[in-house]
């Protein structure tokens, strides 16, 4: 006999109502399948391989060719393993889903989730308990009068359950509660270590909240950003979270470079300007006259310019160049790198934008402006001192509070804080 059945052919326990429906607590007794077929069925002994097979077709075909059950004892043995899961949770099928296996027509169709067909398989939705727990936690966080204490308990649960670490609603609620009600740095730090804080930084634009979190993490004396801390600064810029990068530069000395960010910024530019593909933008590196990091710094300027300069993007780019010792980029350098694909007018506008961002740091030691434009301007000794001091403080987890402890004049303190 062939039976065509719309997929899926199982009962999905996706809510508490269904669990109760198929529970022994509700059903005082469960009627067994009607297996009173002849013990000496003509099909007995002719079965080969598995008694039940689902063909890989759509809709799948349930193959019962050999009448897969011939006696009650045979059925009991066949279903022993599968029914262990039911019995472990005190579950069984409803009598409404049971049906006699006798006198079934040779080609019969059953509708999706047929109320009169059950194939001895019962699965629980893998997210059932996770979703229920998440809803309970969210409701508790919203209604509790002891919100900070609730966050403490949620931190412990999150460290054990991966599903909660990815629940954006719970994370956002907890962070908002801490921001509004908590001044204990240890509580804040404990929660930050319970989820992927680094992923949150490069995806969520909440600079004031980030400032609060980094301040308390710093006060607690723990580095919650364990790996690739400096790369997060450039990652925020690449993701156009410019205000986040500015906050990070208060606590870490300078951005770091990575091949993944190099590829990302190329992808972003190529997405806006199809003519600027990978081959074109990496050409200076392939030709050997520009290193990847230098090319990345230039591409970062292009990316911000093409995205549309804003106050936050200008501030972020300015602070990045205040935090690094690299030589300034010249207009001639930009032109040589991209003159084949970027018009001279665009290159001039890009350089004008870049110049306005780093204007306060320019040192005009040249006889005329044309010589300045063509040259790759080195940084001042004062800038080298700033980057060296900031790196030393950052390595010892003393940014920004360590700047004040140096007892420098107020103007130099502002200089080290990248404010001027």
Average pLDDT over residues 274-293: 90
Task: Name the most confidently modeled range: 79-93, 118-132, 366-380, 383-397.
Answer: 383-397
Q: Which residues pair with 109 in a beta bridge?
A: 4
DSSP 8-state assignment for residue 25: T
Q: How confident is the model at residue 228 (pLDDT cuts 50, 70, 90)?
A: confident
Using CA atoms, how far apart are residues 355 and 350, in angstroms rounded to an integer? 9
Q: Is pLDDT larger for residue 175 or for residue 99?
A: 175
Average pLDDT over residues 113-140: 67
Taking only the tens place, the pLDDT of each residue in 78-125 is 555 655 666 666 666 555 554 444 444 444 444 444 444 444 445 556
- Quick check: 303 pLDDT over 50? yes
Average pLDDT over residues 292-311: 93
Q: How many CB atoms lie within 10 A of CB 331?
A: 20
Taking only the tens place, the pLDDT of each residue in 13-69 is 566 666 555 554 434 444 444 333 333 333 344 434 444 433 444 444 444 333 444
Q: Is pLDDT larger for residue 297 or for residue 69?
A: 297
Q: Is pLDDT larger for residue 353 or for residue 360?
A: 353
For tokens 């549309």, what's the residue? 308
Q: What DSSP letter does each residue of 274-299 carry, written as one string?
A: TTS-HHHHTHHHHTTSS-HHHHHHHH
CB-based contact 321:387 (threshold 8 Å): no
- The reported pLDDT for the residue numbered 273 is 87
DSSP 8-state assignment for residue 6: P
Burial profile 196-206: b = 16 or more Cβ within 10 angstroms, e = fewer: ebbebbbebeb
Taking only the tens place, the pLDDT of each residue in 242-264 is 999 999 999 999 998 889 889 99
Both tokens assigned to 47 = 């079965």
Question: What is the overall mean pLDDT for the chain?
Answer: 76
- Quick check: 344 pLDDT over 50? yes
Using CA atoms, how far apart are residues 29 and 300, in angstroms rounded to an integer? 71
CB-based contact 177:147 (threshold 8 Å): yes
- The reported pLDDT for the residue numbered 296 is 95
Taking only the tens place, the pLDDT of each residue in 311-331 is 999 999 999 999 999 999 999
Nearest alpha-carbon partner for 47 in 75, 67, 76: 67
Q: Is the peptide bond before 408 cis (omega within 30 degrees of 0)?
A: no
- The reported pLDDT for the residue numbered 176 is 96
Predicted TM-score of the model (pTM): 0.70
Q: How many CB atoms lie within 10 A of CB 351?
A: 20
For tokens 């780093």, what's the residue? 358
Using CA atoms, how far apart are residues 245 and 237, in angstroms rounded to an integer? 6
- The reported pLDDT for the residue numbered 104 is 45
Nearest alpha-carbon partner for 30 in 111, 113, 120: 120
Q: Is pLDDT larger for residue 9 or for residue 264?
A: 264
- Quick check: 171 pLDDT over 90? yes
Using CA atoms, how far apart are residues 338 and 348, in angstroms rounded to an integer? 12
- The reported pLDDT for the residue numbered 155 is 95
Using CA atoms, how far apart are residues 48 and 370, in angstroms rounded to an integer? 89
């Amino acid at each position: 006999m062939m039976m065509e059945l719309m997929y899926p052919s199982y009962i999905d326990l996706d809510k508490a109502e269904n669990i109760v429906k198929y529970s022994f607590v509700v059903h005082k007794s469960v009627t067994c399948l009607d297996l009173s077929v002849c013990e000496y069925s003509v099909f007995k002994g002719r079965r080969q391989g598995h008694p039940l097979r689902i063909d890989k077709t759509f809709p799948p075909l349930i193959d019962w060719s050999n009448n897969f059950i011939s006696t009650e004892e045979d059925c009991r043995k066949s279903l022993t393993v599968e029914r262990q899961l039911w019995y472990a949770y005190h579950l069984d099928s409803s009598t409404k889903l049971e049906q006699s296996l006798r006198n079934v027509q040779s080609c019969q169709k059953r509708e999706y989730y047929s109320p009169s067909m059950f194939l001895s398989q019962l699965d629980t939705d893998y997210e059932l308990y996770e979703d229920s727990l998440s809803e309970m936690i969210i409701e508790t966080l919203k209604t509790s009068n002891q919100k900070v204490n609730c966050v403490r308990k949620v931190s412990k649960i999150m460290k054990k359950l991966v599903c909660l670490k990815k629940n954006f609603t719970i994370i956002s609620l907890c962070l908002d509660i801490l921001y509004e009600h908590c001044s204990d740095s240890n509580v804040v730090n404990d929660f930050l270590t319970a989820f992927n804080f680094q992923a949150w930084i490069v995806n969520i634009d909440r600079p004031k909240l980030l400032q609060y979190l980094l301040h308390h993490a710093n006060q607690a004396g723990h580095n919650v950003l364990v790996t690739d801390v400096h790369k997060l600064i450039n990652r925020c810029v690449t993701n156009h979270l410019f205000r986040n990068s500015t906050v990070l530069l208060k606590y870490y000395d300078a951005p770091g470079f990575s091949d993944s960010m190099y590829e990302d910024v190329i992808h972003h530019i190529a997405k806006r300007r199809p003519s600027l593909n990978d081959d074109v933008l990496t050409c200076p590196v392939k030709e050997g006259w520009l290193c990847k990091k230098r090319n990345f710094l230039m591409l970062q300027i292009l990316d911000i310019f093409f995205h549309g300069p804003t106050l936050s993007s200008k501030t972020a780019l300015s602070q990045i160049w205040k935090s690094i010792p690299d030589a300034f980029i010249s207009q001639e350098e930009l032109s040589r790198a991209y003159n084949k694909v970027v018009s001279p007018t665009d290159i001039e506008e890009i350089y004008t934008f870049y110049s306005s961002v780093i204007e306060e740091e320019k040192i005009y030691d040249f006889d005329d402006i044309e010589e300045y434009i063509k040259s790759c301007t080195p940084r001042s000794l004062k800038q080298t001192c700033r980057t060296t001091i900031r790196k030393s403080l950052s390595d010892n987890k003393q940014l920004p509070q360590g700047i004040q402890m140096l007892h420098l004049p107020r103007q130099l303190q502002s200089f080290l804080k990248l404010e001027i």
